[in-house]
Amino acid sequence: MDEAIARVLKKGAFILGEEVSAFEQEFAAYCGVSHAIGVASGTDALQLALLACGIGAGNEVVTTSHTSVATVAAIEMTGARPVLVDIDPARYTLDPLKFVQAISARTRAVIPVHLYGCPAEMESIVEFARRNSILVVEDCAQAHGASLRGKKVGAWGDLAAFSFYPTKNLGAYGDGGAVVTNDSGLAEKVRLLRQYGWKERYISSIKGMNSRLDELQAGILRVKLRHLDAWNDRRRELARRYHELLLNTELVLPADPPNCVQVFHQFVVRHPRRDELQAYLKKRGIHTLIHYPIPIHLQPAYQNLCYWEGSLPETELAARDVLSLRMYAELSEPELKSVCQAIHDFFN
């Protein structure tokens, strides 16, 4: 990492230089796609992907309410209307049947979110979208390296957005993101949009914005990318140990959908007494988080979307019950066992 940073400092070029270009090529190859375009954040990646598809005012984009608010914020930043649907309670990802029921004449795109590192049910989502001329933009912010039927997430849709926020499985030392695609035309549109629409410097061929992955972050990500598979393997091993040690508790443990390789960005359990369990673990010095405590459709900023309590029951139940346990590649066996022992003590 120090060598990568020193290399950038020595060159003295910090914006869209050799490191970004090299990382884009390496990350595209890793995802199994033709193009990757580095941008300033995962939220920008989603917005730029949608804008590249021509999505804006008067259009609707279907996604889930059980996700980071960034997913919905990106839709609204294009001027399109988010249409929120319920989740598959096993995967916590978009329910394909609810997607089918939500489309209208204004539906232009769908954003399946690979939440917690588990791939959404992409085969049926993509098949229906193709039949109905709906674009598929994957939200891969929590799923770097996950795959379904041997194909990595990011390679299923028309475009996909990744975040390199520091806590992600592949995280930078600040904000960063990328759009990936197999479509050369869409890739070129994203490249123009991320820097003022410039084909040549100072000449805007289209209206664009400023959203660029910088050279320092690209250099850091190039180093970390070489370790990503090993870190994901470690996360899967930790998830396996959690399953073994918590199998006989009252917790609902993460599902293992067929033909999926998960990357466990989070290890999420659920229980009706979630809040009591979280408070008990805190007293034992064990930090946990809730991803996410209030569904987007019930948050004050999104009351204009005209949903109500009870409109997305599986999403609302998950928000009441889910708890994210410690999960990172450096987590040790003794630390994991201490978490599991405390959970057993709570239920006993």
Per-residue model confidence as pLDDT tens digits over 88-136: 999 999 999 999 999 999 999 999 999 999 999 999 999 999 999 999 9
Residue the block writes with tokens 């230089």:
17
pLDDT of residue 322: 98
Residues 163 and 261 in one domain: no
Percent of the chain residues topping a pLDDT of 70: 100
Residue 295's pLDDT band, with cuts at 50, 70 and 90, is very high
pTM for this predicted structure: 0.98
Residues 213 and 236 in one domain: no
Q: Domain limits at 310?
A: 228-347
Residues 250 and 177 in one domain: no
Residues 71 and 169 in one domain: yes
Domain boundary at 169, 202, 225, which? Answer: 225
CATH number of the domain where residue 276 is located: 3.90.1150.10
What is the rounded average pLDDT of the residues 328-342? 98
Residues 195 and 309 in one domain: no
105: number of CA atoms within 13 Å, CB side? 0
Residues 294 and 207 in one domain: no
What is the rounded average pLDDT of the residues 213-239? 98
What domain count does the chain have?
2
What is the rounded average pLDDT of the residues 75-97? 98
What is the rounded average pLDDT of the residues 261-275? 98
Domain boundary at 225, 257, 289, which? Answer: 225
Residue 170's pLDDT band, with cuts at 50, 70 and 90, is very high
